[in-house]
Amino acid sequence: MLDRQAVMQEQDLAPPVALPTLSPAARRRQLKEKAIAALITAVAFTGIAALVLILVFVAKEALTLVTDAAAREEASFSKMFLPQLVRKGKPLAYVWQPVSGVPKVSMIPLFVGTLKTTLVSMVVAVPLGIFGALFAAEFAPRRLREVLKPTIELLAGIPSVVLGFFALMVMATFLQETFGFTSRLNAVVAGLGLALAIVPVIFTVTEDALTAVPRSYREASLALGATPWETAWKVVLPAAAPGILAACVLGFGRAIGETMIVLMASGNAAIVSWNLGDSVRSLSATIAAEMGEVVVGSPHYALLFFIGVELFLFTFVLNLLAGVWTKKVIQRLKGGAG
């Protein structure tokens, strides 16, 4: 009797929805969960911290150009970006000759060189990568696709020094014989070598984006009477646009920063000319070629770090622009649907 009362009282006192009392095992599990979450957050922040620290270090070394009087004199911004008198009796010119009695530090030939190689590689790699992915995702029979995808991805695994060697020894000779370039190593050779490195990047990311487009889109389009080509070109491709843009940005980032291929296959002559058959010197190859023997702390040393900062800024701005554009595209796609 008493027992029963006690039980009833307890039942009365208990809240309407009983809080589950955690068993020790469950509590431990919860604690473990929190620890893992904290660890992952820390790892994520390590990545960000590394990025910030790298930028700070590179910028700090380049800062000599502003703080040091001798460096300011030798490599002022006007000397970097405006034409200078190079030899007596010759017109003003943009010249990169940092090891010289009077160092000439114009960035313009290096910008032109980087732009030319990047342009050639993107013009070749973007259509090749995107159409290749479109074929693999939309048209290729399943068996072929299973061969195609890993093969192209394997291309991404080839070390860039091997691609550079191939461009230097095989492609350069072939292209010179075919097109009659004056200099064997030039922007076209370097750009095509770069394209070999970028195509797999663009292909893989684009292919993933295309496969991620919901099946219902394709089914709806086909049901409305569109041909498979119309479906792929007008429905699937636009729907995957943000992913494809991301692929192109990744490819561009690789092209602008890739060093070994350009160093080996471009000839590294710092010339200002828009002829694609001329030899070029890119920003990244300049750092790689000259960093080895430069006097630490000299204006030349600071200049090479400044080039590093410039490369960082280029990719950063591009990523930013791509982000803005992607947002716009997504908005438009949503607007169209609603």
Partner 1 sequence: MKKTLLSSFVAFGLAVLPLTAQAGTVTVKGSDTMVILAQRWAEAFMKKNPATKIQVTGGGSGTGLAALQNGTTDIAMSSREIKEAEEEKLRARYNTPPTAVSVARDGVTFYVNESNKLDALTVEQLKDIYLGDTTSWKAVGGAEAPIVLYSRENSSGTYVFVKDHVLGGEDFAAAAQTLPGTAAVVNAVSKEKNGIGYGGAAYAKGIKELKVKKGNEAFAPSAENVKSGKYPLSRDLFFYLRNKPSGEAKAFIDFALSPEGQAIVTQVGYFPVK
Binding site for partner 1 (CB under 8 A): 86-87, 93, 95-101, 104, 109, 172-173, 182-185, 263, 267-272, 278-279, 281, 289-290, 292-294
CA nearest 279: which of 255, 260, 303, 263? 263
The structure tokens listed for 83 are 């034409």
Between 108 and 226, whose beta carbon lies closer to partner 1? 108
| Cβ 289 to partner 1 shortest distance, Å | 5
In angstroms, what is the minimal distance from the CB of 279 to partner 1?
A: 5
Q: Which helix (H) or strand (E) holds 96?
A: strand 96-97
Give the integer Cα–Cα distance in Å for 319 and 122: 16
Tell me how long the chain is.
Answer: 338
Strand partners, 97: 104
The nearer residue to partner 1, 168 or 213, going by C-beta atoms, is: 168
Select 207 or 258, whichever has its Cβ closest to partner 1. 258
Smaller CB separation from partner 1, 194 or 239: 194
- The least CB distance from residue 94 to partner 1, in Å, is 9
- 3 state SS of 170: helix
What's the CA gap between 286 and 114, in Å, rounded?
Answer: 10
Minimum gap (Å) between residue 77 Cβ and partner 1: 21
Q: Are the C-beta atoms of 104 and 96 separated by less than 8 Å?
A: yes
| Closest of 271, 273, 291 to residue 281, by C-alpha | 271
CB of 86 to partner 1, least distance (A): 7
How is residue 276 annotated by DSSP?
Answer: T
Q: How far is the CB of 168 from partner 1 (least distance, A)?
A: 8
- Residue 182 CA, distance from chain mean position: 32
As measured in angstroms, the least distance from the Cβ of 276 to partner 1 is 15
For 297, residues 6+ apart whose C-beta sits below 8 A from its C-beta are: 64
Could you tell me the smallest distance in angstroms from the CB atom of residue 32 to partner 1?
53
Q: What sign does the CA torsion over 216, 251, 336, 233 have?
A: negative
Of 108 and 241, CB closest to partner 1: 108
- Three-state SS at 278: coil
Answer yes or no: are the C-beta atoms of 136 and 145 closer than 8 Å. Answer: yes
Is residue 300 within 8 A of residue 98, CB to CB? The reply is yes
Nearest to partner 1 of 117, 268 (CB atom): 268
What residues form DSSP beta bridges with 104?
Answer: 97
Nearest to partner 1 of 188, 235 (CB atom): 188
Indicate the residue among 119 and 291 with the shorter CB distance to partner 1. 291
